[in-house]
Amino acid sequence: MKNLTIIPLFLLCGLSALGDIVVEHKATNRFLVAYSEGVLVKVKSCLVLPREAAPRTCRGGVVRALDREKVLKELKVAGAPIPDLKREISTAVEELSLEIDDIKEALDSGRIIDQKSSEAELDLLKRVQQKLIAIRQVEVAFQNEEALVIWESDTNLVYQQLRKIVVGNETVHLQGVDQFKFVTVNAGKFLMGSPANELGRESDETPHEVTISKAFKIQTTEVSQSDWEKVTKGGNPSRFQGANRPVECITWWSAVAFTNEVSRLQGLRPAYDFSGVTFKGSLKDGTLVGDGKIKIDINANGYRLPTEAEWEYAARGGNDPKANMKTAYSFGDDPKQLGSFAWFSDNSGRQTHDVAESTKSANPLGLRGMHGNVWEWVEDAFQENLGIEAVTDPRNDSGSGRVIRGGSWGNVARFLRSAFRFRNSAEDRNVFLGLRLVRPE
């Protein structure tokens, strides 16, 4: 019997709000912008300033930054054209200045007589002025060697060349969103479930071979409250408030809707089709509940929840040479070591903790929080018996409730094992439930 901690009244989900302002930039052609702060950003039809997120019109895809000299060297190897930035900036400034003058002239001339048109012109004037400010900021950053701006070649060779020389996590800029970090989990095979002699084992953990046929990217941490607030434009349903703590108090429906919203902000094709679903509640406060069936686009390039098999494969360490693919935890079998890797009932102080807490070790893939802190919603519906037959890329959409994985700050060690699975109502939301993103490689 899988008995979880009963939620006392003081742990009821709360709500807070934090606004965010995003300025769209459409005044330039395609750029690669590398900043000395540590991010190289690939965007289209916009500029990305230091610590400022790409607007929704930009397409994502970024890599961890390199130092300036190394970037220049690799661009030379790739034969990348470095533009005459002074000329390009000058042209953009001139064009925008003329546009501003034209709008001001129209407003001052009295030709615009109705209020609605006047308000539209004032709004346009504000946006054009913001574009001008943005370009001048990039010019200053370039002159101060804080940024390196390169034209992106039509064949995309520059971007691909830079990706080849990057070692480490991929960093993604979104609209006003803190940088999501991902690692690649390569395709491979593993034994899903647990052996009969594993301490704390449950009967639904029958060992069976699973093949993950395609590599995928998984977020190195659980989604933070800051990420949720910025994607949902101010929402935060979490009881334990803190920008870097995991978002919690979200339904499964809210979790999948969040992944679609992140995809939309990055110009990617959403993985979930809600055309046959009627919703109640709101994404902002994590209360979405759907009536109907979701269609999953397995060929989409957008974000989604991991399948149950992907989650366990990644939790164990994937095909990393240092991975412990047959042990109870990613680090081995001894639960006494769990305190070095996880927040759980023994050390959490009955609350969540920062998602990237440096005092807790990562698993062999560099993932934090796969054991403890908050349970993580996965895509699959719960199926009691997973069978003993070998399967490839299993995905289950029929069953009672949805699967959650990883255990939480309120659970004892056995619930945090890599193989432990639990059924939860898709409509439920509590202080133990969060999420983590994946997307195709």
Q: Are 257 and 233 in contact (CB under 8 A)?
A: no
Confidence of residue 233 (pLDDT cuts 50, 70, 90): confident
Mean pLDDT of 2-31: 28
Structure tokens given for 259 = 């992944």
Asked whether the predicted pLDDT for residue 202 surpasses 50, the reply is: yes
| CA–CA separation, 149 and 144 (whole Å) | 12
Q: Residue 342: helix, strand or coil by DSSP? A: coil
Query: Which among 249, 192, 220, 217 is positioned nearest to 420, based on CA atoms?
Result: 192
**According to the model, what pLDDT value does residue 89 have?**
63
Mean pLDDT of 39-63: 32
Asked whether the predicted pLDDT for residue 153 surpasses 50, the reply is: no
In angstroms and rounded to an integer, the radius of gyration of the C-alpha atoms of the chain is: 24
Confidence of residue 103 (pLDDT cuts 50, 70, 90): confident
Asked whether the predicted pLDDT for residue 152 surpasses 50, the reply is: no
For residue range 27-37, what is the model confidence (pLDDT) as tens digits? 223 333 333 23
Domain boundaries, the chain: 31-169, 180-440
- Higher-pLDDT residue of 184, 53: 184
Q: What is the β-pairing status of strands 391-392 and 208-212? A: parallel
Cβ-based burial of 210 (10 A; exposed 0-12, middle 13-18, buried ≥19) = buried
- Higher-pLDDT residue of 18, 105: 105
Share of the chain residues as helix, strand and coil, in percent rounded to the nearest 5: 25, 20, 55
Please tell me the least confidently modeled range out of 77-81, 104-108, 135-139: 77-81
**According to the model, what pLDDT value does residue 148 have?**
43
| CA–CA separation, 30 and 394 (whole Å) | 39
Q: Residue 263: helix, strand or coil by DSSP? A: helix
Please tell me the least confidently modeled range out of 63-72, 176-185, 355-364: 63-72
Backbone angles phi, psi at 161, to 5 degrees: -65, -45
Query: Which among 396, 2, 419 is positioned nearest to 190, based on CA atoms?
Result: 419
Mean pLDDT of 149-156: 36
Q: What is the β-pairing status of strands 188-192 and 208-212? A: antiparallel
- The CATH number of 180-440 is 3.90.1580.10
Cβ-based burial of 154 (10 A; exposed 0-12, middle 13-18, buried ≥19) = exposed
**According to the model, what pLDDT value does residue 125 have?**
83
**According to the model, what pLDDT value does residue 86 have?**
60
Confidence of residue 104 (pLDDT cuts 50, 70, 90): confident
| CA–CA separation, 226 and 294 (whole Å) | 27
Q: Are 92 and 27 in contact (CB under 8 A)?
A: yes
- 211 residue type, one letter: T
Q: Cα 54 to chain center, whole Å?
A: 14
Quote the percentage of the chain above a pLDDT of 90. 50
| CA–CA separation, 86 and 50 (whole Å) | 19
Q: Are 209 and 390 in contact (CB under 8 A)?
A: yes
Confidence of residue 421 (pLDDT cuts 50, 70, 90): very high
Asked whether the predicted pLDDT for residue 17 surpasses 80, the reply is: no
Confidence of residue 268 (pLDDT cuts 50, 70, 90): confident
